[in-house]
Amino acid sequence: MINERIRKSMIRQHYKIVGNHSAVKICTWLKKSMRDEGSCYKQKFYGIQSHRCLQMTPWIICPNGCLFCWRAIEKIPVKIEKVDEPSEIIDGCIEAQRLLLTGFKGLDKANKKKFKEAQNPNQVAISLVGEPTMYPRITELVEEFHRRKFTTFLVTNGQYPERLKEIKKLTNLYISLDAPDKETYQKIDRPSLPDHWERLMESLEIMRRFDAKKVIRLTMVKGWNMKSPEKYAELIKRAKPDFIEVKGYMFVGESIHRLSIENMPRHNEIKEFAEKLSEASGYAYKDEQTQSRVILLSK
């Protein structure tokens, strides 16, 4: 279902297309972990192993066109006609990741033990590109991952609360909260659904009832949404997450055509904003990772 131009563009960016609407890509931190050069902040904060993480999406389309997104959102097709089976998606993603990891087998700097373990991932980050909850069978997909003994991190923009309601079990639920108010959200996330703000508010309400580690992620873009910490705090109170990640926008990928390097905040600026948010929300400083420009706040 992905036309040839889109497919070639994604392959050049080191994606592997799986089936009709899914994709896999190995992230920088997995590569670093394979060479014993560090690990993802998710390993530091939540205890997963970076080299055993499967970064994938079951749906490459997204209803938003966020300015800070490093994906090629302008090039993604708008219609998918055939929906793949959850088990087919998982099998295809694991096989695709193994192919992407092949080069590490003969690399002198690669940790051979990690390479062997990486052939059988046990953690999935359901994010990557698009909006995972647009996949009509997202509940079945998550259940199948758990049946296979994976831990599951689902990242959503909260635009499909009706799907979020259906999911019974997750390890970590992330909701992206990119703006303190509707006007800013419209400018930075560029949503296509007419009731976008109401959908996001409903998803925040659903989050508070979720039986999982719950994380609100703020992607901070200097000059755009690094403002009004008290308004963010009010929205966060709706969701009652366990953690808040205050993460700096990175000037990488396709986002460099929409924003400038001046929009990328320094780590100390992220920390300053996180301190204001901590005071407004009552969440305390928990941890940080300078390389990823992220601060973790906790209840």
List pLDDT tens digits, range 63-110: 999 999 987 666 555 567 789 999 999 999 999 999 999 989 888 899
Domain ranges of the chain: 4-298
Residue partners of 193: CB distance under 8 A and separation at least 6 = 63, 159, 199
- SS3 call for 210: coil
Query: In this model, does residue 256 exceed pLDDT 70?
Result: yes
User: In Å, how far are 15, 195, 196, 263 from 74, measured between CA atoms?
Assistant: 16, 22, 19, 20
Query: In this model, does residue 27 exceed pLDDT 70?
Result: yes
List pLDDT tens digits, range 192-240: 999 999 999 999 999 999 989 999 999 999 999 999 999 999 999 999 9
Mean pLDDT of the chain: 92
> Percent of the chain, pLDDT > 70?
95
Nearest alpha carbon to residue 153 among 178, 180, 121, 185: 121
> What's residue 71's pLDDT?
76
CA separation for the pair 154, 253 (Å, rounded): 22
> What's residue 61's pLDDT?
87
- Could you please state the CATH topology (level 3) that the domain comprising 4-298 is classified under: TIM Barrel (3.20.20)
